[in-house]
Amino acid sequence: MLRILNLEAGYGLLHILKGISLHVLPGEAVAIIGANGAGKTTLLKTIAGILRPRSGTVVFNKQEIHRESPEKIVAGGCSLVPEGRHIFSTMTVKENLLLGAYHRRRKCTAADIAASMEEVYDLFGILRERANQLGGTLSGGQQQMLAIGRALMSKPKLLMMDEPSLGVAPLTVRDIYKTIARLKQNGLTILLVEQNAQMALAVADRGYVFETGQIVLEGTARELSDNPEVQRAYLGKDYQKINE
Amino acid sequence: MDYPQIVQYCFAGITVGSIYAIVGIGFNIIYNTTGIINFAQGEFLIVGAMTAISFSQFFPLPVAIGMAILITILLGGLVEITFIRQVRNASILRLIIITIGISILIREAMLHIWDEKVRFLPYFTGTDTSTVTVLGAHISPQVLWVLGVCAVIVLGLTLFFKYTLTGRAMRACADDRMAARLCGINDRWMVTLSFMLSAGIGAIAGCIISPIAQTQYDMGAPLAIKGFTAAILGGLGNSMAAVAAGLFLGLMEAFMVSQFDVAYKEAVSIVILLLILVFRPSGIFGRHEINVLRTM
């Protein structure tokens, strides 16, 4: 579904991604874990078209998308839930969701879009209750749900999520991850970026470990969670515990 | 002052005030999607009025005005596509200075196309001497046209931004540009659209005020300053507040004229503008976040 080859990207003089190659198969959930500043967010922004890569290719659904605009990429079925949620805080929950379906405005009827909205409401019941409330008045977790719901409104084939657990209460994080697991079961392909490696690896099939803009490790979620290096660095277990 | 006289001044005030409000809304529409203060906003009014005046010699008035609005809308789009869009990674300040340049350019172009003569559109209904009596005051029917059309513009824009997908998309761009792009909204097109919309309502305002205020190639800048004062007074970005501020400004001016010399009329808005900029840059109705403009 998604294949990235030798991707290099950065901001100005900052060279962040140094030759990233990875792939995501249809129906798969792939996690990218790594510390702050490893380039995880930069990768997702580059795939989504917000950032132009310096070199390398991004192939999505057999089409090269690394020169496309974000609008085209969303319309092609690749949707990003950005880090920090970025919901429209001055607009209502319903308006946020409607805008998520913006690229479908000519292809779909109002009934189709209302049906998608119902699906999102079924996933996140709280959004239905708060439909007419302004996005900015929601709690962190609810905003995250709204951000995911808004991305789902575009009917993506690949859903990319950037740190969905960031700034969300632990209990809500569990809810959100349950929903992510449900989306995966329904056949949605997922690319997930997380610092919360435990959560991410629990839902993912495979994972990549990023360090300073490079992939240092890859494998199935099982392999990664069993890897002592990953355990030490990202799962919060110290050497002692591993050695026991 | 007796009662009818007060009503008279009130009408004079809200008439110019509603024009200031429309200019102020024009500022806000562009400010909201781009963060730019478009100082060519006043020129849009004059271009609209001048074009309508020229067309009105060949076509019936409504057709002439319609065509003028259309041409001004195209001009607004053209300005954005040829100037604003081309400047990449520019600071807001640079873009604002570019709009000042554009306003000078349009003004000089108008001087060449229409010379410096004062012109005006015919009254929409009646003549310059016909009056309607409202609450004991005699007012021109054109005043009612101005008030009615301005009300329709404000109402139409409110509905547009609130209930249409395109209007919502424009608000989304104002709220969070990156998120809007991730929703598949073409933000550049939304910016172009905001210029076209501002130009369009500017042209309408220019046309309806032309019979009473008359039109000259260099009248855009003073109008822009009044509209800018209305926008700032209400709090940048808040169109409803701009309406209130515009009406307030118009009333202040009208009563200033009734009490003092006409010469002080122009000073009112400048004084208000300075006071607001010094003491309350976020505007009367504005909240704190608008202050970002100061740190820009």
pLDDT at A150 over 80: yes
Which residues of chain A are within 8 Å of residue B185 when distances are taken between CB atoms? 71, 99, 102
Q: Which residues of B touch A (CB under 8 A)?
A: 165, 168-169, 171-172, 175-176, 178-186
- The answer to the question of residue A181 being in a domain is no
- The answer to the question of residue A177 being in a domain is no
Does the beta carbon of A225 lie under 8 angstroms from any beta carbon of chain B?
no
Of residues A146, A214, A187, A151, the one with CA closest to residue A29: A187
pLDDT band of residue B287 (cuts 50, 70, 90) is: low
Tokens 């929903």 correspond to what residue? A179
> What's residue B127's pLDDT?
78
Q: What residue ranges define each of the domains in chain B, with the CATH number in brackets?
A: 3-295 (1.10.3470)
Last residue in a domain, options A108, A130, A155: A155
> What's residue A158's pLDDT?
96
Tokens 């021109």 correspond to what residue? B140
* For the ranges A32-41, A80-89, B114-123, B228-237, the one whose mean pLDDT is highest: A80-89
Task: Determine the residue type at B69.
Answer: I
CB A49 within 8 A of CB A68: yes
| Co-location of A27 and A73 in the same domain | yes
Range name among A155-164, B65-74, B256-265 with the lowest pLDDT average: B256-265
CA distance B83 to chain A (A): 21
Token digits of residue A117:
């909205």
CA distance A102 to chain B (A): 6
pLDDT band of residue B295 (cuts 50, 70, 90) is: very low
The predicted-structure confidence for B178-207, as pLDDT tens digits, reads as follows 999 999 999 999 999 999 999 999 999 999
CB B41 within 8 A of CB B195: no
Does the beta carbon of A95 lie under 8 angstroms from any beta carbon of chain B?
yes
Q: What average pLDDT does the segment B82-104 reach?
A: 88
Domain count for chain A, please give it: 2
> What's residue B293's pLDDT?
40
> What's residue A152's pLDDT?
96
CB A145 within 8 A of CB A161: no
CB A207 within 8 A of CB A221: yes
> What's residue B281's pLDDT?
75
Last residue in a domain, options A136, A155, A174: A155
Task: Determine the residue type at A36.
Answer: N
| Co-location of A100 and A150 in the same domain | yes
pLDDT band of residue B130 (cuts 50, 70, 90) is: confident
Cα B129 to Cα B127: distance, rounded to the nearest angstrom? 5
Cα B51 to Cα B237: distance, rounded to the nearest angstrom? 29
Give, as one character, the DSSP assignment of residue A211: E
- The answer to the question of residue A176 being in a domain is no
CA distance A11 to chain B (A): 13
> What's residue A210's pLDDT?
92
| Co-location of A17 and A30 in the same domain | yes
Cα A149 to Cα A94: distance, rounded to the nearest angstrom? 10
> What's residue B291's pLDDT?
42
| Co-location of A90 and A146 in the same domain | yes
| Co-location of A233 and A200 in the same domain | yes
Which residues of chain A are within 8 Å of residue B180 when distances are taken between CB atoms? 88, 99
Cα B228 to Cα B213: distance, rounded to the nearest angstrom? 19
> What's residue B267's pLDDT?
84
| Co-location of A124 and A146 in the same domain | yes
DSSP collapsed to 3 states, chain B: CCHHHHHHHHHHHHHHHHHHHHHHHHHHHHHHHHCCCCCCHHHHHHHHHHHHHHHCCCCCHHHHHHHHHHHHHHHHHHHHHHHHCCCCCCCHHHHHHHHHHHHHHHHHHHHHHHCCCCECCCCCCCCCCCCEEECCEEECHHHHHHHHHHHHHHHHHHHHHHHCHHHHHHHHHHHCHHHHHHCCCCHHHHHHHHHHHHHHHHHHHHHHHHHHHCECCCCHHHHHHHHHHHHHHHCCCCHHHHHHHHHHHHHHHHHHHHHCCHHHHHHHHHHHHHHHHHHCCCCCCCCHHHHHHHHC
Q: What is the mean pLDDT of chain B?
A: 88
pLDDT greater at residue A58 or residue B140: A58
Helix or strand or coil: residue A84?
A: coil
Scanning every residue of chain A, which has its alpha carbon at the shortest distance from the alpha carbon of B186?
Answer: A71
pLDDT at B61 over 50: yes
Q: What average pLDDT does the segment B171-179 reach?
A: 91
Q: What average pLDDT does the segment A144-154 reach?
A: 96
| Co-location of A149 and A86 in the same domain | yes
Give, as one character, the DSSP assignment of residue A80: E
Q: What average pLDDT does the segment A16-23 reach?
A: 93
pLDDT at B256 over 90: no
CB B206 within 8 A of CB B215: yes
Bridge partners for A3 per DSSP: A23, A59
Cα B229 to Cα B274: distance, rounded to the nearest angstrom? 9
Give, as one character, the DSSP assignment of residue A86: -
Of residues B106, B2, B172, B220, the one with CA closest to residue A88: B172
Cα A46 to Cα A22: distance, rounded to the nearest angstrom? 13
Q: What is the dihedral of CA B6, B7, B11, B14, to 10 degrees?
A: 70
Beta strand pairing call for B132-134 and B137-139: antiparallel
| Co-location of A102 and A124 in the same domain | yes
Does the beta carbon of A44 lie under 8 angstroms from any beta carbon of chain B?
no
Residue B38 burial (C-beta neighbours within 10 Å; 0-12, 13-18, 19+): buried
- The answer to the question of residue A165 being in a domain is no
Task: For Cα atoms B180, B186, B187, give the angle at the middle one, nearest 5 degrees.
Answer: 65
Give, as one character, the DSSP assignment of residue B52: H
Rg (CA), chain A: 18
Of residues B295, B242, B251, the one with CA closest to residue B9: B251
How many A/B residue pairs have CB atoms within 8 Å?
66
Percentage of the residues of chain A whose pLDDT score is greater than 70: 96
> What's residue B239's pLDDT?
85
> What's residue A241's pLDDT?
56
| Co-location of A56 and A118 in the same domain | no
How many Cβ atoms from other residues are within 10 Å of residue B14's Cβ? 21
The predicted-structure confidence for B210-229, as pLDDT tens digits, reads as follows 998 888 888 888 899 999 99
pLDDT band of residue B294 (cuts 50, 70, 90) is: very low
The predicted-structure confidence for A88-143, as pLDDT tens digits, reads as follows 999 999 999 999 999 999 898 999 999 999 999 999 999 999 999 999 999 999 99
> What's residue B105's pLDDT?
94
Token digits of residue A39:
């380039």
pLDDT at B54 over 90: yes
| Co-location of A64 and A126 in the same domain | no
Q: What average pLDDT does the segment A7-33 reach?
A: 92
Largest CA distance in chain B: 60
| Co-location of A65 and A87 in the same domain | no
Cα B15 to Cα B137: distance, rounded to the nearest angstrom? 14
Q: What average pLDDT does the segment A57-67 reach?
A: 93
Cα B174 to Cα A55: distance, rounded to the nearest angstrom? 31
Interchain CB distance below 8 Å, B182 and A89? no
Last residue in a domain, options A155, A177, A204: A155
CB A90 within 8 A of CB A41: no
Length, in residues, of chain B: 296
Give, as one character, the DSSP assignment of residue A117: H
Which residues of chain A are within 8 Å of residue B172 when distances are taken between CB atoms? 88, 91, 99
> What's residue A35's pLDDT?
85
| Co-location of A130 and A196 in the same domain | no
pLDDT band of residue B134 (cuts 50, 70, 90) is: confident
Beta strand pairing call for A206-211 and A78-81: unpaired
Tokens 């003004």 correspond to what residue? B107
CB contact residues (below 8 A), chain A span 123-162, against chain B: 150-151, 154
pLDDT at B110 over 90: yes
Cα B6 to Cα B44: distance, rounded to the nearest angstrom? 32
Q: Which domain holds residue A42?
A: 1-78+189-244
pLDDT at B292 over 70: no
Of residues A151, A84, A97, A101, the one with CA closest to residue A126: A97
Q: What average pLDDT does the segment A46-57 reach?
A: 94
